[in-house]
Amino acid sequence: MSLQIRLLIGSSLLGAMLAALPSLSADRPSSSDATDMKVSAVPVPAESPKYLRDEFKVTQGTVSIGGRSLGYQAEAGILVVHLKDPLDDDAPLPKEDRAGPPPPQTPEAGMSYVAYFRGDKEDTRRPITFLYNGGPGSSTVWLHMGAFGPKRVVTADDTHSPAAPYRIVDNEYSLLDTSDLVFIDAPGTGFGHLRGADKEKSFYGVDEDAHAFANFIVEFLSQHNRWNSPKYLFGESYGTTRSAALANILQSEKSLDLNGVILLSQVLNFDDGPDAPQFNPGVDLPYVLALPTYAATAWYHHKLPNQPAALEPLLREVENFALTDYLQALAAGSTLSAERKADIAVRLHNYTGLPADYIERANLRVNGGEFEKTLLGSEVTTGRLDTRFAGPTIDPMSKESDYDPQSAAISSAYVSAFNDYVRTVLKFGERKTYKAEIFDVYKVWDNLHQPPGSLTKVAGPINVMPDLAVAMKQNPNLKVQLHGGYYDLATPYFAAVYELRQLPIQSALQGNIEMHFYTSGHMVYAHEPDLKALHANVAAFIEKTRNGASK
């Protein structure tokens, strides 16, 4: 979930034919007789076929949303995506007709997903929303089991949740009342696997990942006859990075206009992150844009010298200071006088609760890890994804935090609950391993990105602001909705605001953007009152952008 990049066939002839064909696909049940179904192209062991295949299982369920019982179909499965249409290549010759070894297997990814369709018959006129988390290297278990799936796991609000058994309840804030939902796991995560030559190189990268999702969406729309449905992207964290690139790819390469792009805990420009700005001297925006989150955190933990009664007036004051006096002081560099430096340090102390002498020794620049480790003293560390959380410090002598108390507090609940739910309720995943995250994806991830208009990938930190800008220009009806938590120090809310204000678009298109903020962290849905508000805001957004489509 973190934004850090840490992220049997008998005859040779049949084998050669299968290598050249798209993965074997189950006949999809008609909407009128969608019965439980699972198709297996090869016998067990199910986890290690040489060639990936489509498979899915359909079940029925009900959920109570807004006091009304709603029936739905659930489809859990794996959809195989390729770099290009495999039928565009000639099938390899049979072994007896060719010289030398067989050609290398072309790269493919089996991407796991769970889709929900309202009613007992899929309505192709309803909106459809594709949802995914980020990482990179994260599955979508978090959005699925915490935000908008028909079932959700209950966790403690700002403390470590007790160990199993966990409570799975009807999600009365599921978005299924407004839109059909497709929760997609990134390549290599979830129940998915990669195959073929250079498989990691083909799918692990900013552009490679976005193209994989584009191919998944196009294939899914075709299989389900949903091309004429209102279509939305919902990405969280690195998923917002993906959404910007993906929106442009769908539009420019697939001729697919979206109705809306919904961004939760946004990061479009990785130069703005507070995790390690000390390695990029001369770029001081990370310190400036994180300052309001520092203030919100200190306010929440009652560490401000002059604690105001309300949070949001404080944040407006800190935002103004950050972009004026603070930014000017940092920009002055070595020319900043000792007196001015001491004055700014005192003001930062008043807004962050950190000792003024500590701030001065840090040269007015405190990164996210230092803040998390220092605010509550040497024995207690605040959260990163949600700074309302706190936990015992791993190493009291360390300079920065060594872990995220919020991630440690709820991850087991989400992963355990989903593994139980997908097998017992959705009847999918037998003899399969669900990978919630790939923690070493950073070893092979290609961070370089080719923005629209560039002939090559551009060196430097990831920045997909141009992609979203081009998508909005080419489709001036495209609407964008931002959601963020005041206590998110992984993707600070003020950095997201700054990025959207800096999009290279006409001023008229700024009217296509709306923003909502919550008294929670990165996963705003982990705080139930904010989950309720998030549902209301997203549902209203879809209702007003669906262009008169059927409910």
CB 421 within 8 A of CB 145: yes
Residues in contact with 544: Cβ distance below 8 Å, sequence separation at least 6, in sequence order:
none
Domain assignment present for residue 6? The answer is no
Predicted confidence band of residue 85 (pLDDT cuts 50, 70, 90): confident
Q: What is the DSSP string of 445-488?
A: -B--B--TT-SSPBPSS-B-HHHHHHHHHHSTT-EEEEEEETT-
Shared domain check, 107 and 66: yes
Check if the beta carbon of residue 200 is closer than 8 Å to that of residue 89: no
Could you count the other beta carbons within 10 Å of the beta carbon of residue 339? 8
Going by C-beta distance under 8 Å and a sequence separation of 6 or more, which residues neighbour residue 404?
A: 2, 383, 384, 385
Residue 5 domain flag: no
74 SS3 class: strand
- 3-state secondary structure (DSSP) of residue 112: strand
Q: Would you say residue 98 lies in a domain?
A: yes
Q: Sorting pLDDT into bands at 50, 70 and 90, what band is 551?
A: low
Question: 285 and 267, same structural domain?
Answer: no
- Looking at 357, 377, 404, the residue that finishes a domain is 404
Q: CA–CA distance from 45 to each of 62, 108, 133 (Å)?
A: 33, 20, 29
Assess whether 430 and 384 both reside in one domain.
Answer: no
Q: How far apart are CA 186 and CA 142, in angstroms?
A: 13
SS3 246: helix
**Are 158 and 95 in the same domain?**
yes
pLDDT, one tens digit per residue, over 414-426 is 999 999 999 999 9
Range of the domain at 336: 272-404
pLDDT tens digits for range 314-336: 999 999 999 999 999 999 999 99
Does the pLDDT value for residue 180 go beyond 50?
Answer: yes
Between 19-28, 54-63, 73-82, 509-518, the lowest mean confidence (pLDDT) is in: 19-28
- 2 in a structural domain: no
**Residue 533 sits in the same domain as residue 437:** yes
Domain boundary residue, one of 337, 369, 404:
404
Binned at pLDDT 50, 70 and 90, residue 48 comes out as: low
Query: Is there a single domain that holds both residue 434 and residue 538?
Result: yes
Residue 44 pLDDT exceeds 70: no
Is pLDDT of 103 > 80? no
Whether residue 551 is contained in a domain is answered as no
Does residue 345 surpass a pLDDT of 50?
yes
The total number of structural domains in the chain stands at 2
If asked whether residues 33 and 134 sit together in one domain, one would say yes
Using CA atoms, how far residue 63 sits from 70, 71, 132, 418, in Å, is: 5, 7, 22, 17
Contact 94, 80 (CB under 8 A): no
Does residue 550 form part of some domain? no
Are residue 119 and residue 50 in the same domain, yes or no? yes
pLDDT band at 28 (very low <50, low <70, confident <90, very high): low
CA distance 442 to 434: 20
Express as a percent the part of the chain with pLDDT over 90.
79
Domain match, 201 and 55 both: yes
Looking at the structure, tell me whether residues 30 and 174 fall in a common domain: yes
Of residues 477, 449, 478, 481, the one with CA closest to residue 465 = 449
Check whether residue 31 and residue 179 sit in a common domain.
yes
CATH number at 479 reads 3.40.50.1820
361 belongs to a structural domain: yes
The CA distances from residue 91 to 52, 105, 107, 223, 440, in Å, are 17, 12, 15, 24, 35
Read off the pLDDT of each residue in 373-383 and give the average, rounded to a whole number: 94
In 204-318, DSSP assigns E strands to 231-236, 260-264
Is 4 domain-assigned? no
Boundary (domain end) residue, out of 404, 431, 455 = 404
Cα(531)–Cα(513) distance, rounded to whole angstroms? 21
User: Are 424 and 74 a contacting pair, CB within 8 Å?
Assistant: no
Residues 6+ apart with CB under 8 A from 14: none
List 232's β-bridge partners, or say none: 129, 260
Residue 268 is inside which H or E element, if any?
A: none
290 closest CA partner among 185, 368, 403: 368
pTM assigned to the model: 0.89
**Angle (CA) 4 251 546, round 5°:** 95
Shared domain for 418 and 486, answered yes or no, is yes
- In terms of Cβ atoms closer than 10 Å to its own Cβ (0-12, 13-18, 19+), residue 175 is buried
The interaxial angle of helices 465-474 and 238-254, nearest 10 deg, is: 40
